[in-house]
Structure 1
Amino acid sequence: MSHEILFFGGFLLFIILMLAIDLGLFSKSNKPVSFRQAAIMSAIWVTFALGFYVVLRIWGYELHDIQDFDRLTEITKRHLHNIRLIPGDFEASLALYNKNLALEYITGYVVEYALSVDNIFVMVLIFTSFGVPAQYYHKVLVWGIIGAIVLRFLFIFLGAALISQFGWILYLFGFFLVYTGINMFLHRSEEEEIDPKNHKVVKFASRYFSVYPTFVGGKFFHRENGKKYITPLFLVLLVIEFTDLIFAVDSIPAIFAVTKDPYIVFFSNIFAILGLRSMFFLLVNIIHKFHYLKTGLSFLLVFIGAKMLLHHWLDDWGFTTSHSLIIIISILAVSVVASLIFPKKEKQHPKNEAGKNAF
């Protein structure tokens, strides 16, 4: 347990340091994040994510302090790793474990990163509907990510505890993901709309707090005549957090289909979330071009759900994490390529005026 705490603690310290640097570099300037800045930050986060894959590939056994074959067998059974250990050959078995652990991590990362793209569609809609000035997108997203990390931590380790006690929950997750995927496919062509005044989060916050009618620069709170208000920008942050909570209900069970190790679920989830902000600024102006991506994500969810429902049979047939990764990447690649080959006819939409009174 001490090794797990040290490994996990070191990871959290790294994340805190990177977020502090991120906030210090960009948030104070209150300028829109350029495509170049977004590309650099995206490359940095992807590099860190791939670097962590290498760390697990070489030193993954350190996470659970595996020093002998008995401990390796215990961890493999506890987290249902789909590997066959080699009796009498600890070194070879440990190498198989590290390889599988790293593959589970990177597969979970790809799944979460892909599902995050659907989150970007909604974020664009939220910012547009609330008329948020572009220079404040970054501040909202960074604080939104910090909140998301806390929520994901609670969700993931609660989910892991439930799975360890009640194995049948995996089948419940599987049915839920298949249902969600089918529902997403059936409604893939519907355009989502957000009514700022009637959004449930706005109504809830307005009931308990005084809301200032206009944006006040990049402030979340404003004091006037001795009275403290929350600003529309803070309401947008609450809506973003609520939206991520809804997405977490899909994405976290999806990664549990890849690995049952809660630490690996957390690592892959958090690296994908951290890359979401920079990916948002990369895709914000071209996200509409990937119109088949939602179709691809629906197939992805159905595949992952089916994998959870059939995992015992798939294990017997020799279906491995590598096979899952290949199928997941293939689904995403086909949806992206199809979007580029068969572009959707553009529709003219009236744009909200940034910075207008949202309430």
Structure 2
Amino acid sequence: MDVPFWVWAVTVGAIVAMLVFDLVGHVRTPHAPTLRESAIWSAVYVGIAILFGFLVWWGWGAGFAGEYFAGYVTEKSLSVDNLFVFVLIMASFGVPRELQQKVLLFGITFALALRTVFIVVGAAAIANFSWVFYLFGAILIYTAWVQARSGGHGDDEDYQENAVLRFARKRLRTTDEYHSDRMTVKLDGKRFLTPLAIALIAIGTADVIFAVDSIPAIFGLTQETFLVFTANAFSLLGLRQLFFLIDGLLDRLVYLAYGLAVILGFIGVKLVIHALHTNELPFINGGEHVTLLPEVPTSVSLLVILVTLVVTTVASLLRARRDDRERVAADAAASGPTSLSAGGRDPADALPDASENGVRETGTVSAANPGRRDH
């Protein structure tokens, strides 16, 4: 895939411009975005990503466009999984909702810069050492096993600070209270970091961990550096809006981790097969290529990714609906006998009839939003 320098320049310039637009147009004035605002801008960024894919199709053919779309869908699904941790971090640091946009945007910008470095290093390693595919494949297969075993959730629901964050807390001066949307504040002649800055450090360092599976995953679908970079960039753009759009739905995606485990495991196996086809390690088949299994075409990869995501999403929503019905029934059963003994009649009789309000109040009872779970 021959990508002229001017195409690189225009693409990077457009991505930077979108980040600046987000900062000036949405984040500069602290506010909690509405559901409508989040939905509109999420659709806009997804539309831009899809449009870019068709430009790749027009400029370089359907094959490379398929690699881009497979990479974009995979990176986007992994980004949704990462939102669980972002929710935990926001809750752990008590970040006010109107300030969360700024933390997310700065965190996304840091993540994009960090992943760009990883992409350049990964591309250079692949170009010079074919055995890197074995390493990437092993990382993804192990990550898939961990995801499937844990269901994507840790044993406790509290955010666990990493070593970098603990070091920052210990070595840097920090305040206990927020000062609007400021990252630092001067008190008694000394400069302090605010909790907003510490939350940003938490999100930034967490993305280092996320990159461990996302970068090998995208290289398992395409080795074109331009496509790897753009798929990552467009998956991160719009993540801020997506956070507010699906915040209330995250706990309902109970099977997402299993779906991601299938995807990562599939890509990991694909990488190992590719590594065998390009094998140069002397202790494997005497340094000769191994072609017992055929390479997995991009079209099959894209189909597996899409079907897995659809199945796990639908299954998650059906499970959530069933759990809601069971919870309402359990609440009604628990409160019924008590209310009857106390008042002598069913409390549901005192509620407005369905013909007046469309549904009884008992039909709208839901459990309190459960705590977020770590990954």
**TM-score with structure 2 setting the length:** 0.79
Do the aligned residues in 2 keep the contact of 1:292 with 1:336 (CA within 8 Å)? yes
What is the identity, as a one-letter code, of the residue corresponding to 2:303?
I
Tell me which residue corresponds to 1:320.
297
What is the identity, as a one-letter code, of the residue corresponding to 2:311?
V
Residue in structure 1 matching 2:146, options 183, 198, 208: 183
> Secondary structure of 1:223's match?
strand
1:218 positional shift: 1.1
Do the aligned residues in 2 keep the contact of 1:307 with 1:314 (CA within 8 Å)? no
Count residues in correspondence.
314
Q: 1:192 to 1:302 in 2, by over 3 A?
A: farther
Residue in structure 2 matching 1:270, options 226, 233, 243: 233
> Secondary structure of 1:325's match?
helix
Deviates more, 1:181-190 or 1:223-232: 181-190
Flag structure 2 segments of 5+ consecutive residues without an equivalent. 278-289, 325-366
> Secondary structure of 2:248's match?
coil
1:199 positional shift: 4.4
Do the aligned residues in 1 keep the contact of 2:270 with 2:296 (CA within 8 Å)? no
Residue in structure 2 matching 1:137, options 72, 89, 100: 100
Which of these two proteins has the greater Rg computed from alpha carbons?
2
Tell me which residue corresponds to 2:72.
109
Distance in structure 1 (CA, Å) of the matches to 2:24 and 2:159: 33
Structure 1 runs of 4+ aligned residues shifted over 2 Å read 1-5, 189-196, 198-202, 311-319, 344-352
Flag structure 1 segments of 5+ consecutive residues without an equivalent. 61-97, 353-359
> Secondary structure of 1:284's match?
helix
Do the aligned residues in 2 keep the contact of 1:23 with 1:142 (CA within 8 Å)? yes
Deviates more, 1:113-122 or 1:206-215: 206-215
Tell me which residue corresponds to 2:286.
none
Distance in structure 2 (CA, Å) of the matches to 1:239 and 1:107: 29
1:82-231 matches, within 5 Å, as: 98-188=61-151, 189-194=153-158, 199-231=162-194
Tell me which residue corresponds to 1:236.
199
Tell me which residue corresponds to 2:10.
10
1:345 positional shift: 3.9
Distance in structure 1 (CA, Å) of the matches to 2:371 and 2:316: 24
Tell me which residue corresponds to 2:220.
257
Q: State the superposition RMSD in angstroms.
A: 2.2
Tell me which residue corresponds to 1:332.
309
Do the aligned residues in 2 keep the contact of 1:178 with 1:301 (CA within 8 Å)? yes
> Secondary structure of 1:141's match?
helix
> Secondary structure of 1:222's match?
strand
**TM-score with structure 1 setting the length:** 0.82
1:203 positional shift: 1.7
> Secondary structure of 2:237's match?
helix
What is the identity, as a one-letter code, of the residue corresponding to 1:164?
A
